[in-house]
Amino acid sequence: MLRRVSRFYIKYYKMKAVLKLEELAQFILGIVLFSQLDFAWWWFPALILLPDIGMVGYAFNTKVGAVVYNLFHNKAIAIAFMLLGMYYMGQTYTLIGIVLFSHSAMDRIFGYGLKYSDSFKNTHLGKIGK
């Protein structure tokens, strides 16, 4: 029994490491994409925490908080902004998409995933603080 439990934990922690490496690669991709824009380098670190404004929704209740937070941390929305900016709307929209994408990757490196509506700590990556 103990051997089976230890194998589970080894597989679990290996998978967590692989997922974190994948998110790190996406964060680095965000930096590379940002470097292709005509913004000064300091814009990236200045804006990287801005998507956390989505936590304001939690001032109302956990359901509204989860919806608003997930809108600001959804990579598909970030990619849509990037593509719209690259092909139609200009560098500001591309910058918004890159910041949203990079921030989401950074959050997931630290274990903060998309939120369920029952609790801020309940994410698609598991419980925060576990």
pLDDT in tens, 2-60: 566 566 556 667 888 888 999 999 999 999 999 999 999 999 999 999 998 999 999 99
76-124 residue pLDDT tens: 999 999 999 999 998 999 999 999 999 999 998 988 888 888 887 877 7
Write down the pLDDT at residue 120: 77
Write down the pLDDT at residue 122: 74
**Where do the H-state alpha helices sit in 36-121?**
43-47, 62-72, 75-84, 91-109
| Nearest one of 59, 55, 80 to 69, comparing CA atoms | 55
Write down the pLDDT at residue 119: 80
Distance, in Å, from the CA atom of 50 to the CA atom of 18, rounded to the nearest integer, reads 27
Q: What is the pTM of this model?
A: 0.83
Distance, in Å, from the CA atom of 47 to the CA atom of 99, rounded to the nearest integer, reads 7
Write down the pLDDT at residue 113: 81
| Nearest one of 16, 41, 55 to 95, comparing CA atoms | 41
